[in-house]
Chain A
């Protein structure tokens, strides 16, 4: 088990991460979600032992990590915009195996194996400038998996990939976990992917684990309304009204259970009403469905199976999301 305990990390005196405990149990599939700047990448770099926390401890199998070099052989990170060494794809895949002193025949076997699984066999002789961003991402993940780590950390693994490539990547990761025991912790801003893939979704906001569910979490600038007490914040192309005393930078959370879903705008007290289209439906728990819609920004609402049937909700169908200004949580 990889674990951060009582960790506080600062850059130039500014606290960017403050966690009492963050554990990655063996074999876990964890997704960390949160807005840009919430501390996801810093968290992964600390877990990857690439940086020492300003305060606190990193534990591996219940023991405080003293030799980062040895621990790094068991934990591997693929960064958000990974970089390949100035060499061929094959040489990149060989790198981690060579530093472990693995024999040539075993190196070749692992490279053939991982290249086949990620569909990069035709790329083995190419150099980094001959690859697309998506191919670089796949090679970087394959390179990390070639060393067969106990913990694989992925920072926005689908950021350079199109939808189909992202799904292929997630499928390959799932297959990899079936093939051998490995914990995976990924940071993503794609909630849909996080929920589809991970067993455990955790939200990070302003460097802290958020007490609310990670859906509909936004970093915003709250502005007073021209009239009335409500504050407004621009999120994507929509403006969300919130009942709060605060102004300026803040994190907004809209609990998915507080969103009314309808086919037509409702005459109601809800100050936030947005029209859009359903982009995804995911079954969660008994009778609960997560409805993802693009209403100018991606929002998720939780409804019942019955409501989905009654409203005939399906990907692409028109939908209206409504919620009260008082339902918006401000942090």
Chain B
């Protein structure tokens, strides 16, 4: 138990000391998390809308693919991405391997099906009379979609929270395509894994606490936004 208590003491000391490395890792994680969440939700939520509201050939198959992708192992995703981004791979010329962009790309691919599947479920949960009401009052396609989104806004906020949570907690792909390079691609999760393996439990715990804090802050911010909307 002593080493746990010592770990917590060390973690708190690091948190309040303004350690440049710790905060650098946290900021990089936040940057990657925000960018990849915005991209994944920006693509995934409209995709979810289409899957939930449009009848087209292959819709059921597309929903199955999206739902299956929810369980895609992140290590395998990292491995495939590594193959694509490595120098001999088809995207090798981009030069993204072992950069934060590669981690963000992996995170987008990870969070995209989550955003699409949850958004589709959220939209399907909206009373169908909302769409019909908007249409019969003369709304076009986009305005109708906006009306439906407004009704589902609490559920869609949860989609964003979930996507962000998955992105910042992801380690398999970040380790494989990011390389865990100090000062460049070291994120909170890869750093926690590294420092734990090195026996620096206090530092790992400090980074773990920051990770929790980030998730907490995003949830609080979204709840505050939801609080502004009334039933």
Contact = CB atoms under 8 A, between A and B. Distances in A.
Interface stretch (A69-77, A111-119, A264-272, A273-281): A69-77
Contacts of A157: none
Contacts of A76: 136-138
28 contacts: A45-B132, A50-B135, A69-B138, A72-B136, A77-B132, A77-B136, A81-B129, A82-B129, A83-B129, A83-B133, A85-B130, A85-B134, A86-B151, A86-B229, A86-B231, A87-B150, A96-B137, A96-B138, A99-B137, A99-B140, A99-B143, A100-B138, A128-B231, A129-B231, A143-B137, A144-B136, A144-B137, A147-B138
Interface in A30-51: 45, 48, 50
B209 to A, nearest CB: 37
Report the interface size class on chain B.
Answer: 20 to 34
User: Which of A48, A76, A82, A95 has the most chain B CB within a 10 Å cutoff?
Assistant: A95
B133 A82 contact: yes
Interface in A89-144: 95-96, 99-100, 127-129, 143-144
A99 B135 CA distance: 10
A85 B177 CA distance: 46
Given A69-B141, A73-B138, A87-B150, 13 more contacts: A45-B132, A48-B136, A50-B136, A72-B136, A76-B136, A76-B137, A76-B138, A79-B132, A82-B133, A95-B137, A95-B139, A99-B139, A99-B140
User: Which of B134, B135, B137, B229 has the most chain A CB within a 10 Å cutoff?
Assistant: B137
Given A72-B138, A99-B137, A83 B130 contact: yes
B133 A79 contact: yes
Nearest to B128: A83
Given A85-B147, A99-B138, A127 B231 contact: yes
Given A79-B129, A127-B231, A85 B150 contact: yes
B230 interface: yes
The secondary structure that dominates the B interface is helix
Contacts of A86: 150-151, 229-231
A77 to B, nearest CB: 5
Contacts of A129: 231
Contacts of A87: 150
A156 B175 CA distance: 62
Given A128-B231, A129-B231, A95 B134 contact: yes
Contacts of A144: 136-137
Nearest to B129: A83
Contacts of A73: 138
A92 B139 CA distance: 13
Contacts of A99: 137-140, 143
B137 A147 contact: yes
Interface in B100-156: 127, 129-130, 132-141, 143, 147, 150-151
Interface in B134-191: 134-141, 143, 147, 150-151
Nearest to B137: A96
Contacts of B151: 85-86
A48 B135 CA distance: 9
B229 to A, nearest CB: 7
B86 to A, nearest CB: 49
A50 B147 contact: no
